[in-house]
Amino acid sequence: MSGAARPATGPLLRLAGTLGTTDSRRGIFVTLLLALCCLFAATAARADLALEYAPHGQSLIGHVSVLVDPTGRLSAQEARAQSERFTPLTSSASFGYSSDVYWLRFTLTQDSLPRSWLLELPYPYLDDVRLYTPRSDGSMSEQRAGDHMPFASWPLPYRNFLFPLTLPPGHGTHTLYLRVATGDSLSVPLVVWEEEAFQLYAREEALLFGLYYGLMLAMLFYNAFVGTLLRDRTFYYYVACSFFALLIVAELNGHTLQYLWPNFPWLADQQHNLIPCIYVTSLVLWQQAFLNLRQTVPWIVRPLLAIIAAAIALILFSLIGFYGLGNQLTMYLAAITIVLTLLASIFCVARGHRPARIFLLAQLTPMAGSFLLVMRNLGYMTPSTLLNHSFQLATSLEMLLFSIALAYRIYLLRRERHAALDLALHDPLTGLLNRHGLERRLARFSHAGQRRNEELTLMVLDLDGFKQLNDRYGHKTGDLVLREVARRLKACIRTTDFIARPGNDEFIIGLPGMFSHSDGAQLADKLIDQVALPIPVGSPVPGGTVQLTASVGVAFMPGDADQVEGLLEQADLAMYVAKSEGRNRYELAAAMGEEGYRPPAWQAR
């Protein structure tokens, strides 16, 4: 090192002598600059790594030199002989896509303690990785790994490339060489581990991975089950999207090669194109179904369909032998997909589509994770532990948010169905039950009443003279009258009671639990009084108000009938009796029976 620093000594002394001159400040600046250059040169010259125990391993960033071999024909001995061609890497060893072979050189200094060391390359997508370690006799031993080889032939059974460092025992400095060739994005973030530290780290890591995969699979099966129950294809698209997102995470972590297809190097290589392309396809289909893009943002459907076509084409492109170019184009396709799907979500939010807000919030996290990985694979970002697991973290959050979103979707669907059912069961003019709603309510009450022998009172109320008023002043006035009568009737009953309007001017009041004839008569009298009050309707009615009367029939169960159907018939019959007896009055079915009433001929018909 002294030789590296000596050339600057003479100039430094000469510059020191100029402090009294007019250029003294410039001399001081140049002196400091030269001193820094000497310091950096000294640092680069001693780029060896002193091996020591570290709980998270020792990164080799700043300790690696690289030699590019465009022909790929250099042997380890030839690469070692061309030491002058190696250039130091001051940052991470990330090279993007390249067909060249890269030789990496690094020097390790170990102490005299008997410890075992491991070299990890946490980037399990490379085709061919070879580590050359010096022997005591000057030769070099070779260890090989890569996704072009069966997993069982790797030096150590671990998800990443892991090599045992067979260094000569005792204190010393050793220079190792790593040869890397791949058709994928090339990055070599090397880490040296003390074996005990690595085993502890690997156990903790396995626990976290187990929790992650367990959670993801549980949520995956949950959403698949819900989708099967609802028979909603949106859930199927989402389950497919989530499944392939999970496969991408497993691929990025090296678990697909380790556990799913360890003995199929061809599939282990092609997975880097196949899985992302299928994920892109399922993502587009999922978004189209969830946001109903054909209705909300129709102009973006064609570009998204073009994304699907391009993904299928890239799969075929890769399978026929253009893997490297296909893999690179897949990364660009993923970036375009991120932009388009994000744009579609933003447009949907801007147009007030409520599910788009949830989709945008949930999808922003995996979009960000995907974008970071794409930038890393294209060589625009430096790999790091957080960056390498960004998509994994993002999919965890996405799965949680989308489970909430899909639960909210179920809620919205149920609310829509309830709203549609409510519309089918209620009169849109008055908000009361219609004929169908009344039948459902009575049928439900009938079943419950038979089990519990429950009491029920039914009243049939018919407006006297409504048809003439409606014909004279028009339907608008008639509608106002019906709404006001409905409001007054609802104000007279309990919350447990119900009112229906099965016909034009006929109302049916159900009173569960009422059996007292006196209570029924009192309520019927009150209803008649309320209907008889003036009803404001405005023009064209003179004075702006109308007055009507009502006829009410009342029947009780048990007593007047044993079944709801018979009870309704008795109440209806009693209402006709009230009309025939002069109107503006009520009639009890029980009193009608005691008097031996017989319906008139017009009613019998």
Per-residue model confidence (pLDDT) at position 86: 95
Q: Which residues pair with 557 in a beta bridge?
A: 456
Token pair for residue 116?
């075992």
Per-residue model confidence (pLDDT) at position 167: 83
600 phi and psi, to 5 degrees? -65, 170
3-class secondary structure, 103: strand
Give yes or no for residue 34 having a pLDDT over 70: no
Q: How confident is the model at residue 35 (pLDDT cuts 50, 70, 90)?
A: very low
Burial of 133 (0-12, 13-18, 19+ CB in 10 A): buried
* Three-class DSSP labels, 178-235: EEEECCCEEECCCEEEEHHHHHHHHHHHHHHHHHHHHHHHHHHHHHHHHHHHHCCHHH
Burial of 376 (0-12, 13-18, 19+ CB in 10 A): buried
* Three-class DSSP labels, 248-274: HHHHHCCHHHHHHCCCCHHHHHHHHHH
Least confident of 37-41, 478-482, 503-507, 535-539: 37-41
Token pair for residue 287?
């978004």
| Composition of the chain by helix, strand, coil, percent to 5 | 55, 15, 25
Name the average pLDDT for the chain: 82
Q: How confident is the model at residue 385 (pLDDT cuts 50, 70, 90)?
A: low
What would be the CATH architecture of the domain defined by 435-604?
Answer: 2-Layer Sandwich (3.30)
486 phi and psi, to 5 degrees? -60, -45
Separation CA 452–CA 457 (nearest Å): 15
Pick the residue with more confidence: 520 or 277?
277
Per-residue model confidence (pLDDT) at position 383: 60
Pick the residue with more confidence: 12 or 173?
173
Q: What is the fold, at CATH topology level, of the domain defined by 50-198?
A: Immunoglobulin-like (2.60.40)
Q: State CA 146 to chain mean position distance.
A: 33
Kindly report the length of the chain.
Answer: 605
Give yes or no for residue 446 having a pLDDT over 70: no
The average pLDDT across 523-543 equals 88
Per-residue model confidence (pLDDT) at position 8: 38
Least Cα distance to 198 among 386, 93, 63, 58 occurs for: 58
Q: How confident is the model at residue 411 (pLDDT cuts 50, 70, 90)?
A: confident
**Alpha-carbon distance values, 123 to 93, 129, 275, 367, 432 (Å):** 11, 11, 17, 21, 68
CB 155 within 8 A of CB 89: no
CB 46 within 8 A of CB 86: no
CB 481 within 8 A of CB 505: no
The average pLDDT across 77-87 equals 93
Token pair for residue 515?
């059996």
Per-residue model confidence (pLDDT) at position 27: 46
Q: Which residues pair with 140 in a beta bridge?
A: 134
Token pair for residue 531?
């209907």
Give yes or no for residue 42 having a pLDDT over 50: no
3-class secondary structure, 479: helix
Residue-wise pLDDT for 414-427, tens only, equals: 888 888 877 888 88
Separation CA 268–CA 143 (nearest Å): 20
Separation CA 19–CA 299 (nearest Å): 73
Burial of 149 (0-12, 13-18, 19+ CB in 10 A): middle
> DSSP letters along 269-314, please?
HHHHHHHHHHHHHHHHHHHHHHHTHHHHSGGGHHHHHHHHHHHHHH
Query: pLDDT exceeding 70 applies to what percent of the chain?
Result: 86
Per-residue model confidence (pLDDT) at position 199: 95
Q: How are beta strands 586-588 and 549-557 bridged, if at all?
A: parallel
- Tell me which H or E stretch contains 108: strand 101-110
Separation CA 572–CA 462 (nearest Å): 9
> DSSP letters along 117-162, please?
EEEEE--TT-SEEEEEEE-TTS-EEEEEE-TTS-GGGSSS-SSSEE
Per-residue model confidence (pLDDT) at position 31: 44
CB 124 within 8 A of CB 257: yes
Domain boundaries, the chain: 2-46, 50-198, 232-418, 435-604
Token pair for residue 295?
């209705």
The average pLDDT across 346-369 equals 82
CB 52 within 8 A of CB 66: no
The average pLDDT across 461-480 equals 89
Peptide bond into 540 cis (omega under 30): yes
Give yes or no for residue 448 having a pLDDT over 70: no
Query: pLDDT exceeding 90 applies to what percent of the chain?
Result: 38
pTM (predicted TM-score): 0.66
Handedness of CA 70, 71, 76, 77 (dihedral sign): negative
User: Which amino acid is it at 335?
Assistant: A
Give yes or no for residue 5 having a pLDDT over 50: no
Per-residue model confidence (pLDDT) at position 79: 94
Per-residue model confidence (pLDDT) at position 428: 85
Q: Which residues pair with 119 in a beta bridge?
A: 163, 192
Those residues whose C-beta lies under 8 Å from the C-beta of residue 521, and which sit 6 or more positions away, are 554, 586, 588
The average pLDDT across 585-605 equals 57
Handedness of CA 406, 408, 410, 413 (dihedral sign): negative
